[in-house]
A and B are shown apart, each in its own frame.
Chain A
Amino acid sequence: MTTSAAPPPSPTNGASKSDAAPSAGSSRRGAPARARRRADTRFVLVCLLPALALFAVFMIVPTMNVFRMSLYTWSGFSPDMRFVGLDNFRHLLDDKQFVRAFQNTVALLVVVTVVTMGMGLFLAAIMTRQRLRGRNLYRFVLYIPNVLSVVVIAAIFSAVYDQENGLLNGTLRLLSLDGLQQVWLGNQKVVLYSVAIAMVWQSLGYYMVLYMSSMASIPEELYEASALDGASPARQFFALTLPLIWENLRTTLTFFIMSAVNLSFVLVRAMTGGGPDGSSEVLLSYMYKQAYTNSSYGYGMAIGVVIFAFSFLVSLLVSRATRREPLQF
Chain B
Amino acid sequence: MRRSLVLTGAAVTVLGLLAGCSAGGSGSDSGKTILKVAALEGGYGRDMYTRVIKEYEASHPDIDVQLQISKSIEDEITPNMKAGRYPDVVVLGQGRKAALTETLIKDKALEDLTPVLKEKVPGEDTTVGDKLTEGIVGNLNTDPYRTDQTYLMPMYYAPTGLFHNKGLFEEKGWKVPGTWDEMFALGDTAKKQGIPLFTYPTAGYLDSYFFALLADVGGERFYTDVMTYKKDVWKSANARKALDITTKLLGYAAPATVGYANEQDFTKNQQLVLDNKALFMPNGTWIVGEMADAPRADGFQWGLTPLPAATTGGKRYITTSVESVWVPSAAQQKDAAKEFIAYLYSDKAAKIFAESNAIQPIESIASSLSAENAEFYKVYEDPKVAALVGGFASTAPVEGVDIKATLFDTANSIISGDTTEDKWQSALNEASEKLRQAGS
Residues of A within 8 A of B (CB): 39, 43, 46-47, 49-50, 53-54, 57, 73, 75-78, 88, 91-92, 94-95, 97-98, 154-155, 158, 162-164, 183-188, 270-273, 275-279, 289-290, 292-296, 299
> Is the C-beta of B14 less than 8 angstroms from some C-beta in chain A?
yes
Residues of A within 8 A of B108 (CB): 78
A-B contacts, 19 of them at CB < 8 A, read A43-B3, A73-B397, A78-B107, A78-B108, A92-B400, A98-B400, A163-B260, A164-B256, A185-B260, A186-B261, A188-B418, A270-B264, A272-B264, A275-B412, A292-B99, A293-B402, A295-B397, A296-B397, A299-B397
CA gap between A76 and B399 in the complex, in Å: 13
Residues of A within 8 A of B21 (CB): 57
Task: Determine which residue in B259, B401, B409 has the highest number of CB atoms from chain A within 10 A of its CB, and name it.
Answer: B259
Contact with A along B1-12 (1 / 0, CB 8 A): 001001100100
The reply to whether A75 and B397 contact each other, CB–CB distance below 8 Å, is: yes
Contact with A along B104-121 (1 / 0, CB 8 A): 101111000000000000
For window 88-143 of chain B, which residues contact chain A by CB distance below 8 Å? Answer: 97-99, 102-104, 106-109
Residues of B within 8 A of A (CB): 3, 6-7, 10, 13-14, 17-18, 21, 81-82, 97-99, 102-104, 106-109, 202-203, 256-265, 268, 397-402, 405, 409-413, 416, 418-419
The reply to whether A88 and B263 contact each other, CB–CB distance below 8 Å, is: no
Could you tell me the distance in whole angstroms from the C-beta of B163 to the nearest C-beta in chain A?
21
The reply to whether B259 and A184 contact each other, CB–CB distance below 8 Å, is: yes
In the complex, given contacts A78-B107, A271-B264, A279-B418, what are 14 additional A-B residue pairs having Cβ atoms less than 8 angstroms apart? A39-B3, A53-B18, A77-B109, A186-B416, A188-B418, A271-B262, A276-B203, A276-B416, A277-B412, A290-B400, A292-B97, A292-B99, A293-B99, A296-B400
The reply to whether B99 and A47 contact each other, CB–CB distance below 8 Å, is: no
Task: Determine which residue in B104, B107, B410, B419 has the highest number of CB atoms from chain A within 10 A of its CB, and name it.
Answer: B107
Residues of A within 8 A of B202 (CB): 273, 275
Out of A47, A155, A162, A295, which one reaches B10, CB within 8 Å?
A: A47
Could you tell me the distance in whole angstroms from the C-beta of A95 to the nearest C-beta in chain B?
4
Nearest B residue to A87, CB-CB: B399
The reply to whether B265 and A185 contact each other, CB–CB distance below 8 Å, is: yes
The reply to whether A275 and B399 contact each other, CB–CB distance below 8 Å, is: no
Residues of B within 8 A of A278 (CB): 405, 409
Could you tell me the distance in whole angstroms from the C-beta of A15 to the nearest C-beta in chain B?
20
The reply to whether B409 and A294 contact each other, CB–CB distance below 8 Å, is: no
Out of B81, B103, B258, B399, which one reaches A276, CB within 8 Å?
A: B258
Residues of B within 8 A of A76 (CB): 82, 103
CA gap between A136 and B109 in the complex, in Å: 59
The reply to whether A77 and B103 contact each other, CB–CB distance below 8 Å, is: yes
CA gap between A158 and B259 in the complex, in Å: 10
Could you tell me the distance in whole angstroms from the C-beta of B210 to the nearest C-beta in chain A?
15
Could you tell me the distance in whole angstroms from the C-beta of B264 to the nearest C-beta in chain A?
4
Could you tell me the distance in whole angstroms from the C-beta of B406 to the nearest C-beta in chain A?
10
The reply to whether B6 and A46 contact each other, CB–CB distance below 8 Å, is: yes
CA gap between A210 and B346 in the complex, in Å: 65
Residues of A within 8 A of B97 (CB): 292-293
The reply to whether B10 and A49 contact each other, CB–CB distance below 8 Å, is: yes
Nearest A residue to B102, CB-CB: A295
CA gap between A54 and B20 in the complex, in Å: 12
Nearest B residue to A166, CB-CB: B259
Out of A49, A91, A292, which one reaches B14, CB within 8 Å?
A: A49
The reply to whether A275 and B409 contact each other, CB–CB distance below 8 Å, is: yes
Residues of B within 8 A of A163 (CB): 256, 259-260
Residues of A within 8 A of B262 (CB): 185, 271-273, 275-276
Could you tell me the distance in whole angstroms from the C-beta of A82 to the nearest C-beta in chain B?
10
Residues of A within 8 A of B261 (CB): 186, 275-276
Residues of A within 8 A of B409 (CB): 275-278
The reply to whether B258 and A183 contact each other, CB–CB distance below 8 Å, is: yes
The reply to whether B260 and A186 contact each other, CB–CB distance below 8 Å, is: yes
Could you tell me the distance in whole angstroms from the C-beta of B11 to the nearest C-beta in chain A?
8
The reply to whether A185 and B259 contact each other, CB–CB distance below 8 Å, is: yes
The reply to whether B413 and A50 contact each other, CB–CB distance below 8 Å, is: no
Residues of A within 8 A of B10 (CB): 46-47, 49-50
Residues of A within 8 A of B103 (CB): 75-77, 292, 295
Out of B17, B104, B258, B263, which one reaches A186, CB within 8 Å?
A: B258
CA gap between A58 and B109 in the complex, in Å: 29
CA gap between A292 and B17 in the complex, in Å: 30
CA gap between A271 and B3 in the complex, in Å: 54
CA gap between A94 and B418 in the complex, in Å: 21
